[in-house]
Structure 1
Amino acid sequence: MIDTTALPVRPSSADELTELIGKELGPTEWHDVTQERINDFADATGDHQWIHVDPERAAASPLGGTIAHGLYSLSLGPALSSRLLRFDGFAQVLNYGYNKVRFPAPVPVGSRIRMRATVLSAEQVSGGIQVTTKQVVEREGSDKPVVVSESVARVVEAGPTSAS
């Protein structure tokens, strides 16, 4: 039986993944959203839209200041989710994509965000197990989440080891 109180949870078989279906994991520790991190993300992606990188202009906007890119928050998914669920007992894990992604609320500079995750499914597919996880990123002090997504991963179980 998998202990979901000790994070990260570390399943090592399809059966253990199935045990996790419907269980919420988390939350993670808080992540500080700084202007420097937003600027670095803008530089990495080439998205320098003023609401993200121009504090003076953004201060005069209805949002009252700069906000993180929605994709900045989404891009934290792998790092944050690995603090909740690790696939170390498997031979391989691949990010397969996302089914749904929504950004219900902005993330102002100076915010703290964290993630909760729920395993929605673990299905046998050709070559492995497809694991779908609902990831909810919340902002401290906000009633609305800032990201809600369904992340899809493919994991391959470790084969038996052979003695030489």
Structure 2
Amino acid sequence: MNAHAPVPVSLDDLKGQVGQEIGVSPWTTIDQERIDRFAEVTADRQFIHVDPERAAAETPFGGTIAHGFLTLSLLSAMAQEALPVLANRTMGINYGLERVRFLAPVPAGARVRGRFTLADVSMRSSVQAMLRYQVTVEIEGADKPALAAEWITLAVLG
């Protein structure tokens, strides 16, 4: 994270950035411990995620891989580190996702980061702005991203 607080941007300034990449998060390591904790929380203990020996022997991945939903769940943290702070925003709310695609497996120990392009900004009410992002999660050194999606959030303005 930055040592200093970012300068908030106005909604009008943000609207002027539609169609542009507006943030790239730092790299985050997806280690086996994180994968195991996610497996426990979600009760998704499929061997491709939690059994390194079996995953190495029985899959084309060479070892365990992160859950696709684990990678997707990191979007909030990535956005917090990468996206501009909207002036007068009192809270952000997940509204949904469109066209989520898991394009490549994330091997245990890999590093990932999010790339955010602002696709649209519209007002839902006088105090709610809907923000649409095209987001990809890249895997360090890989040809294909882990995932691509359109992410929709609401910014509540105060």
Instruction: Give your verdict on TM over 0.5.
Output: yes
Q: Return the match for 2:29 from 26, 29, 32.
A: 32
The 3 A distance-change label for structure 1 pair 59 and 135 is: same
The 1-side partners of 2:135 and 2:7 are apart by 15
1:146 aligns with 2:143: no
Specify every segment of 5 or more residues in structure 1 that has no aligned partner in the other structure, as ranges. 1-6, 159-164
Decide whether the 8 Å contact of 1:28 with 1:115 is kept in 2: yes
1:76 aligns with 2:74: yes
Output one character per residue of 1:126-146: Cα deviation in whole Å (capped at 9) or x when no partner: 351111011110001111010
Moved over 6 A (4+): none
Specify every segment of 5 or more residues in structure 2 that has no aligned partner in the other structure, as ranges. none
Aligned pair count reads: 152
What SS does the corresponding residue of 2:92 show, helix, strand or coil? Answer: strand
Equivalent residue, structure 1, for 2:112: 113
Length-normalised TM-score, structure 2: 0.88
The 2-side partners of 1:58 and 1:143 are apart by 22
Q: How far 1:28 sits from its partner (Å)?
A: 1.6
Give me the identity figure in percent: 44
Output one character per residue of 1:63-107: Cα deviation in whole Å (capped at 9) or x when no partner: 111000000000000000111113463123211111221110000
Output one character per residue of 1:10-60: Cα deviation in whole Å (capped at 9) or x when no partner: 4332x1220221111332211011000000000111100000001110011
Decide whether the 8 Å contact of 1:11 with 1:89 is kept in 2: no
Length-normalised TM-score, structure 1: 0.85
Cα root mean square deviation, aligned = 1.9
The 3 A distance-change label for structure 1 pair 62 and 95 is: same
Equivalent residue, structure 2, for 1:47: 44
The 1-side partners of 2:82 and 2:8 are apart by 9
Decide whether the 8 Å contact of 1:131 with 1:152 is kept in 2: yes
What SS does the corresponding residue of 1:32 show, helix, strand or coil? Answer: strand
Equivalent residue, structure 2, for 1:19: 16
Amino acid at match of 2:109: G
What SS does the corresponding residue of 1:145 show, helix, strand or coil? Answer: coil
Amino acid at match of 2:78: L
Q: How far 1:152 sits from its partner (Å)?
A: 0.5
Q: Return the match for 2:56 from 55, 59, 76.
A: 59
The 2-side partners of 1:72 and 1:9 are apart by 30
